[in-house]
Chains A and B, each alone.
Chain A
Amino acid sequence: MRRRLYALAGPLALALALPAQALAADEPKTDPTKEFLLEPWIKIPKIGPIDLSITKGVFYLLLSTTILLVGTLLVVRHLRLHPRKLQAFVEIVYDFSETQIGRASLPAKTYTTWFPYLATLFLFIWINNIISYLPLPVDTEHEIWGWLPTPSFYAATSNLSVTLALTLVTFFASHYVGIQNNGVRGYFKSWFPPISGPINILIVPLEILSQLLRLVSLSVRLFANMLAGHLLVLMCVSLIIIIGNVFVAAASIPVAVFFYCFELVLVANLQAFIFALLSGIYIGTAAEPHH
């Protein structure tokens, strides 16, 4: 237990060293919202309107994918009957995603096809959320000793493009599953209430609207939670610079630590779980409509 506390103290101390970046600047000004600007690190010429430059967000996406691939490959290549620590951890995560996400949301006939997607979604968002709270040297605006970028926070999931792309996959997957299982007519018929008459004119637009609003709610929920979480911690720490009084630290640093722990322990895990679970529910209800 004590060792774990020490392990936590490292990232926390690094996180609290963040105002160093503002002190290093010429004018004593800091703007936490600038942390969310994406400046290309490696420029790749645009292909039409598509910009494929490597930015901070791309770096975080690649990092999380690498962690996932290396971690799972390490475990899968040396499977043991009596699991060691890493394997036991991966087994717990798998068990959780099977019982809490897969079995809870998908009907039996679509389970084998779509559980891998949900588990991947959960793990990808989860790892992204967790590594976003580790201070990594990614802030290219300021540098320590002239070469090392200052440690900073950024989450790939605090970018609307990433979450919207994930949501679009779920959106199209749910309609695909619906049409596959019920046929084109059967699926779109399930959008209509079983009663006929003029009330249909009222209900059908609502149903279509709710289908489209899923795109907004699912993507914005994850995006806004991560953005607000990072902004809150950064803002608490930057308050010292903005107000310009060292004694503000006595109040704002404990608040920052509290929100840091709250976001890392609760919100980061919960949002990944919610995103995967709601994706599963959308796919599951499309496969077996209630009507």
Chain B
Amino acid sequence: MALEGNVNEAAQNLALGIGTAIGAIGPGIGVGYLIGKTIEGVSRQPEMRGELQGLMFLGLALTEAITFYALLMSFVAFFIGK
């Protein structure tokens, strides 16, 4: 089957969409696990809430950033070579 139309542009669009989507899976699992464990910890020891929350936000920022690495690389694929 021959492909008609601008295959290059189609591939770039797909790269942006699929790259971002796949890149969001891992951090999504990670953020869910992180917050779930924090809730577990707080329910076990409510007096540790403040400390755990601080650590949670630290981990949140570190985990969440991985999504943006994927997004960034997808943008590179999308914009470079146009």
The B62-77 residues at the A interface (CB cut-off 8 A) are 62, 64-65, 68-69, 71-72
B19-71: which residues lie under 8 A (CB-CB) from chain A? 54, 57-58, 60-62, 64-65, 68-69, 71
Our pick among A100, A225, A274 for the contact of B68 (Cβ within 8 Å) is A225
Whether B69 lies near A271 (C-beta < 8 A) is no
Q: Is the interface of A mostly helix, strand, loop or mixed?
A: helix
A130 touches B (CB below 8 Å): no
How far, in Å, is B57 (CB) from chain A's closest CB? 6
Contacts of A273 on B, CB cut-off 8 Å? 57, 61
In the complex, number of A-B residue pairs with CB atoms less than 8 Å apart: 33
A16 close to B (CB within 8 Å): no
C-alpha gap A273/B61 in the complex (Å): 10
Main secondary structure of the interface of B (DSSP, over half): helix
Hey, which chain A residues are within 8 Å of B54, CB to CB? 100
Closest CB in chain A relative to B51 CB, distance in Å:
11
- B70 and chain A: residue at smallest CB distance: A224
A271 to B58: give the CA distance in the assembly, Å. 9
Interface flag for A175 (CB, 8 Å): no
Question: Interface range on chain A: under 10, 10 to 19, 20 to 34, or 35 or more?
Answer: 10 to 19
A277 — which chain B residues lie within 8 A by C-beta? 58
Nearest CB in chain B: distance from A279 CB, A: 14
Could you give, for residues 242-279 of chain A, a 1 whenever the CB lies within 8 Å of some chain B CB and a 0 otherwise?
00000000000000000000000000001101100100
A274-B62 Cα distance, complex, nearest whole Å: 8
- The answer to whether B68 touches A221 (Cβ under 8 A) is yes
Residue of B nearest to A225 (CB): B68
List 16 other contacts, CB 8 Å, given A225-B64, A228-B71, A271-B61. A33-B79, A217-B65, A220-B69, A220-B72, A221-B62, A221-B65, A221-B68, A224-B68, A224-B69, A224-B71, A224-B72, A225-B68, A227-B68, A273-B61, A274-B58, A274-B61
19 inter-chain pairs at a CB distance below 8 angstroms, sorted by A residue, are A33-B79, A220-B65, A220-B68, A220-B72, A221-B61, A221-B65, A221-B68, A224-B65, A224-B68, A224-B71, A225-B64, A225-B68, A227-B72, A228-B71, A270-B60, A270-B61, A271-B61, A274-B61, A274-B62
Tell me the A residues contacting B by CB distance below 8 Å: 33, 100, 217, 220-221, 224-225, 227-228, 270-271, 273-274, 277
